[in-house]
Structure 1
Amino acid sequence: MKYLFFLMLVTTISPSVFSQNKDAILGKWINSSGEAHIEITKRSDKYFGKIVWLKEPKDAKGNVKTDVNNPNAALRSKQILGLEILKDFEFSGDKWTDGKIYDPKSGKTYSCNMSLKSNGDLNMRGYVGISLIGRSETWKKVK
């Protein structure tokens, strides 16, 4: 009887204890270089992120930084501050997958997956084609 009770208890609590909270990534994160804060939000069942703070919001000439490297010439005048750089992530098991990350420094967009490390940091993996060919960086939660 003790074993049956234990089995029922473990079965009841295990999904909440062992699965990742799908909204755990919501909030503000600082990128690995410390140059920007990105706020991750949720729309419907997908996750998005936009730049909400820049260490240096103006260029060397004192002009507001714009998306000058965007491959779409019509978007090059958009300000970097407020730019959506994370799009369409879906929560799956213990990570956020099938999203895109845009790098305003290069003007390139990459496939991306995100996962939380045990210390609460956000692991970002941008790639072209398959995840093995890519680059990872770690973002920290803004306090």
Structure 2
Amino acid sequence: MKRLLTTFCAALISMLVFAQSNDPILGKWQNPSGEGRIEIYKKGEKYYGKLYWIKDAAKKDTKNPDESLRKRNIQGLEILTNFTKKGNTYEGGEIYDPKSGKTYSCKMTLKNNDALDIRGYIGISLLGRSETWKRIQ
């Protein structure tokens, strides 16, 4: 019985590791300027991203339209929310830009395992801005 339980636990751990490695967007990414690093993770069936490191760790969210949030640190903010995977594209989510205090619709496209195209836009994706993040881990 002990051996069966050990085998079952090992198989379960292997499946969990395989499931995570089967999702190449998960992990840590750096923006093009090198000022910020974002960790993308999954909650349920949705994808999120947290700004886990910035050059100026003491910087506050002073541009936030909600005055009560302006004293919080930018480092640690969840800036990517509610993305759904469709092939190599992750869509239906939003990105928060702490430099402007604005939230935009967003689409992310995995170019390869080391490059992630981020497109923030208002309305339709033709009206927006893109940048490419690079994997750091």
Query: Is the aligned partner of 1:101 residue 2:95?
Result: yes
CA deviations on 1:81-108 (whole Å, 9 max, x unpaired) are 1011000000012200011000000000
Give the structure-2-normalised TM-score: 0.81
State whether residues 22 and 91 of structure 1, in contact with CA within 8 Å, keep that contact through their aligned partners in structure 2: no
Q: Which runs of 4+ in 1 moved over 4 A?
A: none
Matches within 5 A, 1:70-109: 70-109=64-103
Residues 86-139 of structure 1: CA deviation (Å, up to 9, x unaligned): 000000122000110000000000000001114630000100000011011000
CA–CA distance in structure 1, aligned partners of residues 120 and 111 of structure 2? 16
Cα distance in 2 for partners of 1:25, 1:118 equals 9
* Structure-1 separation of matches of 2:94 and 2:50: 12
Q: What TM-score results when the alignment is normalised by the length of structure 1?
A: 0.78
Structure 1 Cα separation of the partners of residues 35 and 46 of structure 2: 25
What is the rounded CA distance, in whole Å, between the counterparts of 1:22 and 1:139 in structure 2? 20
One-letter code aligned to 1:141? R
Native 8 Å contact 1:102 1:108 kept in 2: yes
Residue 51 (structure 1) aligned with residue 51 (structure 2): yes
Specify the alignment match of 1:29 in structure 2. Answer: 29
Distance 1:119 1:92 in 2: 16
Give the structure 2 partner of residue 4 of structure 1. Answer: none
CA distance in 2, matches of 1:125, 1:22: 23
Unaligned segments of structure 1, at least 5 residues: 1-20, 58-63
Q: Which has the higher strand share?
A: 2
Q: CA RMSD in A?
A: 1.4
Q: CA–CA distance in 1 between the matches of 2:22 and 2:46?
A: 10
What CA distance in whole angstroms lies between the structure 1 residues aligned with 2:27 and 2:51?
Answer: 12
